[in-house]
Amino acid sequence: PAGVIVVGGGQGGFQVAASLRDEGYQGPVTVIGDEPCLPYQRPPLSKGFLTGKAQLAEIQLRPAQFYSDQRIDIMHDRVESIARSANRVRLASGRALAYEHLVLATGARPRMPSVPGAHVAGILPVRTVVDAQTLLPQLKQAKRLAVVGAGFIGLEVAVAAIEIGLEVEVLEYADRVLKRAVSAEAADYLARAEMQAGVRFRFNTAASGFVERDGRVAGVQTTVGETIAADLVVVGIGVQPNAELAQAADLAVHDGVMVNAYLSTSDPHISAIGDCARFPATYSKTPVRLESVQNAVDQARCVAARIAGRAEAYAKVPWFWSDQGANRLQIAGVAEAGDLAVVRGDVAAGKFSVFRFRDQRLTAVESINSAADHMASRKLLACAARISPEQAADTRIKLGALTI
């Protein structure tokens, strides 16, 4: 038998392979990844890896021995096309491999600003180990860092750069940080903490161009007509799913590879998971695409179980974390911009959660330095517990008592 081929050796691709073996799957398992290293965790790349707290060897998901022990074949190659009628993939190296089941775990790639000067040296994304290894020595040499985009990665890089002594200025086209992802209450707390650490922010401001001097970036031109001096720029303006492979194979793609509740594409021999996949979720009217470790790992487990004969619809509560300096944000569930926000805990003490509601229903909980709230919230969301905004705000009521 041809076995399982996994396209992409990131968080999700690794997990499919490992979980197939956990599930007792005996057939061949091949992970084809186009990065030059073994599967690793991306989260430290914008955090401890930049401040010297995490080294490459420590962020690898498993040592090489694991893959040989588990009979998981890791190939450093790129899948160029899928011949669905023949159940075969073609690789950049020219090889063709047959599969019984194909899992697309191709992730996403950073969006870069399409403005003049964007290709000048010193303007960098942070997605891969190679990106982080390119950034690291430049961070050590630079004096003034400009960060384009106040999303999770931008904020994490900003505070890491402050820690190693740079001047940091963050440009954000919205009127506050983390506008797409979290409530104003949580976002404002995190922004204040960054400002206290020394990060400067410019809101309602986007990059309109980059200034070049001696072949290297020297500044960012902004949409409000200013030029911000910077000898290094990190871009964190979101990602684009790697879905071209699926699209070229005539699978449905709509900002991500479309999958059903079992994470299968319209071709029963092909599944998609993680950052590249868009799936139906009970908490959303339209299919969602999530970018988180939890989502990649749990979807990988779901697909591995199905391939091994235990099919189950995907229905996990999403959760996410972001470490910004000393502050840890943890999110359970998925909120929409208009959802009600109710604070529980002590904002001034930097230990609180924001409970989000839509139509009287809890949609998400954003916890700052409150791990117990986060864990309890995941349970509340998993059992669709009834909790009112008043109960959420009342710290005398134990969250655990509300799970049915």
Per CB under 6 A, residues contacting ligand FAD are: 7-13, 32-35, 42-43, 45-46, 78-79, 105-107, 126-127, 153, 242, 245, 274-276, 291-294, 296, 320-322
The string of DSSP letters for 56-79 reads HHHHBSS-HHHHHHTTEEEEE--E
Q: Which is nearer to ligand FAD, 76 or 216 (CB)?
A: 76
d(CA 259, CA 299): 11
For residues 272-281, b (16+ Cβ closer than 10 Å) or e, as one string?
A: bbbbbbbbbb
CA distance 34 to 201: 36
For the bound state, the minimum distance from the C-beta of residue 327 to ligand FAD, rounded and expressed in Å, comes to: 12
Query: H or E segment at 343?
Result: strand 340-346
At 70, the amino acid letter reads: Q
Q: By C-beta, is 87 or 222 nearer to ligand FAD?
A: 87
The encoded tokens of residue 26 equal 């005996």
C-alpha closest to that of 99 among 3, 190, 27: 3
Q: Where are the alpha helices (DSSP H) in 171-291?
A: 184-197, 244-248
CA–CA separation, 108 and 90 (whole Å): 20
**Residue with the closest Cβ to ligand FAD?**
10
Quickly tell me which residue has 């599930």 as its tokens. Answer: 23
What is the smallest separation between the CB atom of 59 and ligand FAD, expressed in angstroms? 11
Nearer to ligand FAD, 33 or 333 (CB): 33
Q: For the CB of residue 106, give the shortest distance to ligand FAD in the complex, in Å.
A: 4
Who contacts 297 (Cβ-Cβ below 8 Å, separation ≥6)? 11, 12, 15
How far apart are CB 215 and ligand FAD at their closest, in Å? 27
Q: How far is the CB of 69 from ligand FAD (least distance, A)?
A: 22
First to last CA, the chain: 46
Nearer to ligand FAD, 42 or 278 (CB): 42
Nearer to ligand FAD, 4 or 45 (CB): 45
Least gap, CB of 29 to ligand FAD (angstroms): 15
Q: How far is the CB of 319 from ligand FAD (least distance, A)?
A: 8
Our CB check for ligand FAD shows the closer of 127 and 356 to be 127
Task: Please say which residue, 170 or 402, places its beta carbon nearer to ligand FAD.
Answer: 170
